[in-house]
Amino acid sequence: MASETPSRRPSLESYTTGGGDQAALSGRTSPDSLFSDSESQEKREENLSDRIAARLERSTYDGKDFLPDDCIDELVTIDAVREHLECPPTKKKQEDQILDFIFDKQHGAKKLFVIALLCDIPSKDLDLAKAMLLFRKVGVHDGDLPIKPDECAAITDSRSPWNPVKIRIFDERQWAVLAPVFTDQNTKLRLEPGHIFPIVGDIRGGEEGAFGEVVQVTIHEQHWSRPILKYDKTRADIAIKKLKKSGGNTTDRGKLDQLQKEWDREVAAHVAMRQAQHKNIIEFITAVERGHDRFLLFRWAEEGTLRQFWEVNPRPVLTTTLIKDAVLQIIGLADALHKLHTGHYGSYRAGGESFRHGDLKPDNILCVTIKPPQENCVNVPELKISDMGLAKHHNVATELRPPTSMRYTTTIYEPPEVMALGPQQGRSRRYDMWSLGCIILETIIWLLYGNRNLETFNAKIVDERGQKCHWFEFRDKKDGPRGQATVHQHVQDTMRTLCADQECGPHTAMRDLLDIVQTKLLVVKLGIGTFLNHGDAGGPKSQPGCRIYSGELLECFNKMLTKGKADERYWFTGKSRKGIDRLVVIPDPESPVAQVEKIEFPVDNKFASQLMAKLSSNDLFPPPSQSLKLCEKCRMLDLCQPMFHIVDFLSELKSSRASCDFCKMRWEVCHHLDRDRVKVVRFDRDQSMLRLNEGLTPVLSICRSPDFTNPNSHVAQIGLPRITKTDSPSHFSTLRHWISQCDSHHTDCNPLPTRPVHPPTRLIDVGTKDAPLVRLFETQRNARSDSSSPLAPSIPYKYIALSHPWGVAPHFCTYASTLAQHKQRIPIDGPDFPATFRDAITTTRELGVRYLWIDSICIVQGEDGDFDTESERMEDVFSSAYCVIAASSARGQRDGFLVGRKERQFLELSKGLYVCRFIDNFGDHVLDSPLSKRGWVLQERALARRTIYFTDWQAYWECGDGVRCETMTKVDNKLASFLGDPNFPSKLSGNVTDRGEKIRFYESLYQQYSRLDFTRIADRPVAIAGLEQRMVRDLGARGGFGIFDDDRSLLQRTLLWRRGKEVAALERVPLTPGKGEALRLPSWSWMAYDGAIDFLDLPLGGVEWMEDHIHSPWTRSTTSVVAGDVVGRRLSAVARPFLEEPVDRDGDQSVEDFEIVFDAGDDAQTTGWETWRCVVVGTRRAPKGMSVPVGQRTHYFLIIGAVEGREGVYTRIGVGKMAGALIGEALPDRVVVE
């Protein structure tokens, strides 16, 4: 019963089933004597019970019936009740008492009467009348509902109409008349578990987030007193968010109190926001506590979240209306935030109480339709801020607040101060300003380039491990354990690229919006006083160069509106965007951030089924585990269901790991997370992988046997939960199937039909099982002497090439002294023969190939060897090989690669369905392996047409079709596919990739190559020569030494290489003894140095090149340089003096405008500015429509120093960029740079 009932109600203990009105009804007169036969048992055609039953509605949310609120007054009339009571004339007094009781205006009992009917209390024997008189006597009326069974003891008796059975029925059916009515006054309802939500119609949605499930419902029209109307005047639906029980079934009083405080905080935030009545804040209806469950009710946003709106409208067509409407909605969001931040809610003032949202993101911005749809037109919806669950009260200055307690923020959109200041600092409202800046930038990208480019942009905001991260990063850690925070490099690159878009020119809305993001919102610096200023709660002015407050943002937007009113063309230039469909972000080549694209793992069960049929099933699938432990939650999981995901609280995973194996597995892949900041994790199935918190690299994989049965089994990859042993038949059957499928279906990968017929000079004949003799075979000599040789030039041939690390000495090699011996027999059974080579011979035989190429055996080593001539043929050796096998796990010749692999953890959740630790990591296992750190291997991989990699975990196959794993997983990655291209660089050629992308890719390739290891550093130019010539041809250029010249800008760009930031000094590569000057590389080539290099950041299309100021050896020539040609190592250049030592003393130039890098290290160059010269190769182009004096424009140049004793001859000593005002006029005579 309601809490106030006991104070009004008479004691029930004085009442029994005898006496009182009950006795009057049941005493001395038998029931049969009260009614005549004609009146008695004739059933009405449609009595009150029938009419009530007909009006019952089914709650589609709770699955129970309820009576709409208006029905009781409509149906329960005096005549209807009198008719149903069936009291005889002799009981007129009692009938009048019942009617007065039921229809009392203050304490009526209409609902009790309806409940009695729903309980099937019959009129016969006056039971219905007795039942109502009992309620009247004990003082129970409608206001006392709901009534608990234990409160009905005094009226319960076996002879009473309210016997124990009927009381239980009453307890169940009373809820049918108690469905709540939602009004403006009821902002927080406390209901009993039995209360029925008056929801009718289909329930839609069902999207589950970290903290609850949200569904779209329709409230019965009689249970919503003032409904929200849509633009077409129809009633809006309701969103019900059921919050998760983060405390589980805990009985811990402290935890329960904390959960209640969090709930009360969220409700208080929503109630306060409701007072604002701002059109850009989602309409809050009420908060409901129903038993232990918590619900929040809002207006339903029919167009979903802002992110969903972008997805549904992937390619908007720019118009004035579209841009203007989008900006107006952004302004609305900013104004709503200002109301929250300052506590001004229209006529309502929160008494100093204000909020920050704390979790702004596109998924928390809802979209409501505000005008009818138009064909071929995107209507911008009204954007509404939602999900105030993390809103934080701000009624004291930031400095005076204790540490912030917002526990569940979404980290990606958090500002840098979250990590830079740590959890012990309070937070400013400018926290929201950073998040809003992220949303505005995403909106700009969507407007200009569509959702596909927006998704690509977001996919590249990753940390060094390829995991999704914040929009900021920490660069230089010398300033502290985390270092100095900066805007994420990819975000910077994207904003810089957008500035060059035709729609972002001067005096345009898009440019002003972008400038606001770039200079006022996505700003790391907060400024002194942020945490000391009591004015923070009222929105003070920020300091110059710092992130602004919401009020200042509105001032910026007001200026935009003023411009738009003055000139409608401000919103949209009207220029055609035909052909502008890709946002090609030019990355900063000096950035250490890994350029990672999302790796896909498409399910390919056709290939897997064919392979599985060839394998022996005995060793593929383990027997079911008898000791598997699963909790109830994990037992009910269906990994194959559409949109499968798991949401876990870390605390619950930790506690359940001991009793559930799958909980333990999930805990082990996420326990490294910072539990002070990350409370909830989410696992989403993507194809046949499980990703953690939307990370780029999966953490778990799903595989199944071919006979696994499930309606959605096609989503799971047929594959192996454990890897077979390297000496098993299944292992080599897998390798052979990879090759045969590639031979049959990938014509571009097969070298036999199209490659030159001249084989390597020598190959290893691995023999056969019947004749296992292994010997060195000289192909050309045998081909000339025996035209029937399998290697005769006119006959196709095939051989395997081994890519391997040499490791530490001693090495097994062919020398001039052992050449004859190896031609007779190679002692593979001897103790000195390396395990890696023995495994290569075994693999070659298993693949059905007769010949093998190994560099240290097939090339004669030593001073009397032929390495210099043979190394020039490396391009043909690897590109002509039938297949390359790579010993990726080995560190030297003696390690071998057919060795035991690391064990993989897996669980069989149901018969034939496995969840496994993720091991299909081609990047870590292959690209970052010890082998891939060798300088020669980069060219070997790029030139190979197909390769089998042997790693510590499994074998991988790579060809032009992508990467396959021994687990049967397929891997697709665009960046990796460039080097895996069997006809490198065909995937970068033609119209597929524009010139700017090619330049950046090749620069990136050289940066990567310069960081690889060489046994002999003098091999550096040779080990990439084959690749370099292909790149030269692809770019339509000439060149050498890592420098290109195409008579456009390639020469200038490639000359502006610089010492890598991690390198203290570059050391000149010494000459090989006895080779003389012929092989000396010029100082302007990075190949002449030992150490990592990068390139100066030069904006594509943003530099005016000074082509006549520098000429390469290939200028106006049609050939590339010839090794040993002295003239071919000279640059002709126009030199200029420095007017003074180029130091940015006053900090007037930004980092983008000033940089000096010496090749030999910054400390090595302390004097010489008077005699040093610079060769300016280009200047920064002035913005379109603007005139910038040459002295103020950034100049890009080489720094050169005179060679002693040689007039007019210089050598390169560094590179730089700075304002032209510090550089003198050109000297009259050109100089030579060697």
pLDDT in tens, 623-679: 887 789 999 999 999 999 888 989 888 889 999 999 999 999 999 998 888 777 778
Query: How many Å apart are CA 241 and CA 287, to the nearest integer?
Result: 10
- Distances from the Cα of 1131 to the Cαs of 670, 1025, 1040, 1233, in angstroms? 56, 21, 13, 5
Query: How many Å apart are CA 850 and CA 553, to the nearest integer?
Result: 73
Res 1046: pLDDT: 83
**Cα 867 to chain centroid, rounded:** 48
Res 558: pLDDT: 96
Mean pLDDT of 918-943: 86
Cis omega before residue 1189 (within 30°)?
no
Give which of 755, 757, 822 is closest to 790, Cα–Cα: 757
The residue type of 1017 is: I
Tell whether the model's pLDDT for residue 1149 goes beyond 60: no
pLDDT in tens, 44-66: 457 889 999 999 999 999 999 99
Mean pLDDT of 954-974: 90
Res 617: pLDDT: 63
pLDDT in tens, 444-477: 999 999 998 998 899 888 876 566 788 998 865 4
CB-count burial class (<10 Å; 0-12, 13-18, 19+) for 748? middle
Q: Which domains does the chain have, with CATH numbers?
A: 5-179 (no CATH), 181-300 (3.30.200.20), 302-469+496-570 (1.10.510.10), 729-905+917-985 (no CATH), 995-1233 (no CATH)
Tell whether the model's pLDDT for residue 976 goes beyond 80: no
Confidence of residue 321 (pLDDT cuts 50, 70, 90): very high
CB-count burial class (<10 Å; 0-12, 13-18, 19+) for 911? exposed
CB-count burial class (<10 Å; 0-12, 13-18, 19+) for 99? middle
Query: How many Å apart are CA 509 and CA 515, to the nearest integer?
Result: 10
Res 719: pLDDT: 94
Query: How many Å apart are CA 669 and CA 1215, to the nearest integer?
Result: 46
Q: What is the mean pLDDT of the chain?
A: 81
pLDDT in tens, 1038-1082: 888 889 888 888 899 999 999 988 888 999 888 655 444 445 789
Residue with tokens 């069936």: 86
Cβ density class 933-967: b for 16+ within 10 Å, e for less: ebbbbbbbbbbbbbbbbbbebbbbbbbbbbbbbbb
The residue type of 637 is: L
**Cα 636 to chain centroid, rounded:** 27
Query: What SS3 class is residue 1009?
Result: helix
Res 886: pLDDT: 95
Sign of CA dihedral 916, 917, 918, 920: negative
The residue type of 411 is: T
Orientation angle between helical segments 509-516 and 489-499, nearest 10 degrees:
160
Contact partners, residue 1198, CB within 8 Å, separation at least 6: 1055, 1056, 1084, 1133, 1174, 1175, 1177, 1212, 1214, 1215, 1233
Query: Residue length, the chain?
Result: 1234
Q: What are phi and psi of 275, to 5 degrees?
A: -65, -30
Residue with tokens 């919401």: 550
User: Quick check: 730 and 715 in contact, CB under 8 A?
Assistant: no
pLDDT in tens, 1009-1018: 898 888 788 8
Structure tokens at 1087: 């190949």
* Residue with more model confidence, 590 or 232: 232
Strand partners, 474: 485
> E strands within 338-471?
344-345, 348-349, 355-356, 365-368, 382-385, 392-393
Tell whether the model's pLDDT for residue 38 goes beyond 90: no
The residue type of 179 is: A
Provide, rounded to the nearest whole percent, the portion of the chain with pLDDT above 70: 80
**Least confident residue range of 542-556, 875-889, 950-964, 1129-1143:** 1129-1143
Res 32: pLDDT: 37
CB-count burial class (<10 Å; 0-12, 13-18, 19+) for 758? middle
The residue type of 504 is: C
CA dihedral 595, 598, 602, 608 (to 10 degrees): 40
Confidence of residue 967 (pLDDT cuts 50, 70, 90): very high
Confidence of residue 694 (pLDDT cuts 50, 70, 90): confident
Tell whether the model's pLDDT for residue 754 goes beyond 60: no
User: Quick check: 71 and 52 in contact, CB under 8 A?
Assistant: yes
Confidence of residue 335 (pLDDT cuts 50, 70, 90): very high
Query: How many Å apart are CA 1043 and CA 1035, to the nearest integer?
Result: 12
Give which of 992, 978, 972 is closest to 942, Cα–Cα: 978
Q: What is the maximum span of the chain, computed from C-alpha positions, in angstroms?
A: 141
The residue type of 921 is: N
Res 868: pLDDT: 81
* Residue with more model confidence, 354 or 1139: 1139
Res 421: pLDDT: 53
Q: What are phi and psi of 241, to 5 degrees?
A: -110, 115
- Distances from the Cα of 423 to the Cαs of 6, 246, 473, in angstroms? 49, 22, 18
Tell whether the model's pLDDT for residue 747 goes beyond 70: yes
Residue with tokens 């005493």: 27
Res 974: pLDDT: 61
Highest mean pLDDT out of 429-438, 443-452, 1116-1125: 443-452
Strand partners, 917: 700
- The DSSP string of 936-957 is HHHHHHHH-SSEEEE-SS-EEE
Query: How many Å apart are CA 279 and CA 827, to the nearest integer?
Result: 84
Q: Which helix (H) or strand (E) holds 217?
A: strand 212-219
Residue with tokens 């306060």: 272
Query: What SS3 class is residue 97?
Result: helix
Per-residue three-class SS string for 962-988 = EEEECCCCEEECHHHHHHHCCCCCHHH
Long-range Cβ contact pairs of 736-739 (< 8 A, separation 24 or more): 736/846, 736/847, 736/848, 737/610, 737/611, 737/614, 738/948, 738/957, 738/964, 739/847, 739/883, 739/946
Confidence of residue 424 (pLDDT cuts 50, 70, 90): very low
